[in-house]
Amino acid sequence: MEENKKLEDIQMQIERLSKEHEDLVKRRNELLFKINNEGLTEEIANSKEFEDIEEAERLIKDTIKQGIKIILLEQKKEAEGKELEQIKNKQASNLYLPNAHMINRIFDPNTNTLFPYGEIEKDRFIPFLDKAGNVLAEFNAQAEGNKAIVYADCDLNPYDKEVYIGINSLFMEGNDSKFIDACMVYRAMHGIQTPTKVSKKNQEKIIASIEKMRHVFLRLKYEIKNEEDKNNPIKAEVNGYLLTLKGHEANVNGQKIAEGYKILSQPILMEYSFDIKQIIKMPLELLSITDKTGKTLKNTDERTAIKTYLFKRIEVMNHDKKSKQSKVILYQTVMEQVYTTSEIKELSKKKNKEIKDFILNYLEKLKTEKVIKDFEEIKEGNERKKVKIKL
C-alpha cells in the first residue's frame, strides 16, 4: 500500500509539473509576441525572463524524466513479480544426483574431515581417494584469506545434501530465470509436484542450510577421460562456492510476493559430475510410495534421504554390472545418510525397526517400477543386517 501511495504521488507531481510547463511555454510565447509586434526586445532581454523560463523548463523536464523512470522501474518490477508468482509453482520432474563419492564425503558428518578448522596453507590440497586408493579429486577448503570455512558448530550434514540436490534439480528443470525460494526447494526435495503450503519452520530450516552452503568454498582438481588419447587424461580444475546465489525479492502492487534467490551459475558439484559423466537422474515419482494399506507415506527429510541414497546406489549397480560393485546394502550405511554414528547407536529398537521396514518398503516400490528384479534381506542370527539387490 505504501508503495502504491508513492507511485500515486509521483504521478500527481508529474501532472502538476506538466501544467507548470504548459504555463511556461505560454508565457514564453507571449514574450516572443511582444518582441515581434511591439519592439520590446531590449526591455525583455534585460529582465532575464527568458533565462528564468529556460531554467525552469529544464528543471521541470528533468524532474518529469526522473519520475517516469521511477514509474517504469516499478512497472518492470511488478511485471517480473507477476512472472515469478507464476513460476514459483513450476517444479522439476526429476532429481539430479551428483557423483556419489564426492557428495557423500562432503555432506557426511562422519567423514567430511576435508574441511579442517582453523588455519590452512593457502595452496594446500587435500586428496580425496576412492576405496582402491586412487585420487578422485583434490579439495582446497580455503575461503577468505587462509581461514577454513566450515564452522565447528554447523558442519555440512545429510539434510544440507538433500537441499543441495533439490536446488540442483531446480537449476536443471526449473524456470528460465533460475529463481528459487524455500518452498520450491522443499517441494523439489520431497518430490511434490503440486502447489503445497510449506510450514514456516521448514522454510527457515532450508534458508539456514542455503545460507551455510553459500559460504562453503571448494576447489576441485580432477581428471577427465580423454577420448582422443586415453593414456593422457585431461586435467581439470573448478573452484567456487557450493552454491552461487543472489538474494532476490519481487513485489506486486507494493506487496512482497516472492523472496528467494537467483542461481547465478551451475552448482559446482553438478559441474564436476557432468565433467566426469557421473550424474544420476531420478524421476520424482519414485519418491512417492505407499504403505501396505495403500496409503501414501509422507515424505519426511529422513525418508527422502534414504530413498535418494538407495536409488543412487542401485543406479550405480545397474550401470556397472560387470564390476565388483557390491550388490549388498548394509542397513548401517543407509542410516549413516541420516544420522551420525553416535546417533545410530542411540536409536531405539522401535525406531531401528521402523527405518529397516521403510527401506524394504521402498525396495518393493523399486521392484514394482522394474528398477530392480528383486531383493533379499539378510540376517546374522536374529539381527537384520543388510539387503542383497537382484538386478
Tell me the pLDDT tens digit for each residue of 275-286: 888 888 998 888
Tell me the pLDDT tens digit for each residue of 275-323: 888 888 998 888 888 777 777 788 888 888 899 999 988 988 887 765 5
- For 353, the grid coordinates are 525397526
Q: Which residues pair with 138 in a beta bridge?
A: 127, 221
β-pair type (135-139, 126-129): antiparallel
Distance CA(197)–CA(177), nearest Å, equals: 22
Q: Pick the range with the lowest mean pLDDT from 93-97, 189-193, 208-212, 304-308.
A: 189-193
- Residue among 177, 322, 336, 147 nearest 248 (CA): 177
Q: Which residue has the higher pLDDT, 277 or 215?
A: 277
Distance CA(101)–CA(298), nearest Å, equals: 28
Contact between 154 and 117 under an 8 Å Cβ cutoff? The reply is no
Distance CA(342)–CA(230), nearest Å, equals: 44
Residue 146 per-residue DSSP state: T
Report whether CATH 3.40.50 matches the domain 288-391: no
Using pLDDT thresholds of 50, 70 and 90, give the confidence band for residue 207: very high
Q: Which residues pair with 256 in a beta bridge?
A: 251
Residue 224 per-residue DSSP state: E
Is residue 41 packed enough to be buried (19+ CB in 10 Å), middle (13-18) or exposed (0-12)? exposed
Q: Which residues pair with 296 in a beta bridge?
A: 290
Most confident of 109-118, 202-211, 224-233: 202-211
Please state the pTM of the whole predicted model: 0.67
Angle at the Cα of 74 from the Cα atoms of 73 and 75, rounded to 5 degrees: 90
Distance CA(310)–CA(301), nearest Å, equals: 14
Which residues in 1-21 are b (16+ Cβ under 10 Å) and which e?
A: eebeeebeebeeebeebeeeb
Coil, strand or helix at 103: helix
